[in-house]
Amino acid sequence: MFQPAGNSIIVRSDGSPDGAGMTLQIDTATALLMDTRYVPSPNVDDRPDDEMSLIVIHGISLPPGEFGGHYIEQLFTNRLNPNEHPAFVPIADLRVSAHVLIRRDGELVQFVPFTHRAWHAGESSYQGRPRCNDFSIGIELEGTDEIPYEDNQYQVLATLIACLLRTYSQLSDKHITGHSDIAPGRKTDPGPAFEWDKLSHLLAAGLG
């Protein structure tokens, strides 16, 4: 069984417990973020083992290079209409999801409970271990490989990661990677626009 570090955790935006600032709380009974919009994806199943030891960061925009709207939600809930944009034609029938999406304005949307398997990584391998969906959490950032991500996205991402690390003891800040790293040659996100140093600084400030 999963071994949460506590029943539920409130984490400030700087990663320290409770107090003022942005807070996130995970209900460990449901594995959902509290006070966060939940849009259940049908693209989910049980993990083969009760392991959750990797965090994978993705980037996504629909249509490519455009932000806003509900197209990402429609993709993750199998409701994307291929007639609305030519770019949707090859992806409308895909069955994919992520645990969480962080929009450009910092809004969080959850699609899959953290303890369940989201279909975000596809064919993948981490440190020689295949099928990363089995043991990972997938976090999508609304963005592209080339356009800088927003500062508030980094802040929310760091807060979310800190909350996950404090809630699920199997996770570690040493095992956070990008989609391109677990699927090289097939995927490029979150791309060169993603500032890993900025995320590391925020996590170090909050977890140190």
CA distances from 23 to 108, 112, 139, 195 (A): 12, 20, 18, 23
Handedness of CA 43, 135, 106, 11 (dihedral sign): positive
Structure tokens at 70: 């509900």
pTM for the predicted model, two decimal places:
0.90
- For residue 206, what pLDDT is reported? 78
- For residue 21, what pLDDT is reported? 57
Task: Determine the Cα–Cα distance for residues 24 and 46; give it in Å rounded to an integer.
Answer: 24
The CATH H-level superfamily of 10-207 is Peptidoglycan recognition protein-like (3.40.80.10)
**How would you label 170-182 residue by residue, b for 16+ Cβ within 10 Å and e otherwise?**
bbebeebbbbbbb
The residues assigned a catalytic role are 140
Task: Determine the Cα–Cα distance for residues 47 and 50; give it in Å rounded to an integer.
Answer: 6
Domain ranges across the chain: 10-207
Q: What is the pLDDT of residues 163-200, one digit of tens each?
A: 999 999 999 999 999 999 999 999 999 999 999 999 99
Torsion from C-alpha of 30, 119, 93, 185, nearest 10 degrees: 160
Task: Give the ranges where the chain is alpha helix by DSSP (H).
Answer: 71-76, 151-167, 179-182, 196-207
Q: What is the pLDDT of residues 46-86, one digit of tens each?
A: 999 989 999 999 999 999 999 999 999 999 999 999 999 99
Task: Determine the Cα–Cα distance for residues 46 and 36; give it in Å rounded to an integer.
Answer: 22
Burial of 42 (0-12, 13-18, 19+ CB in 10 A): middle
- For residue 23, what pLDDT is reported? 86
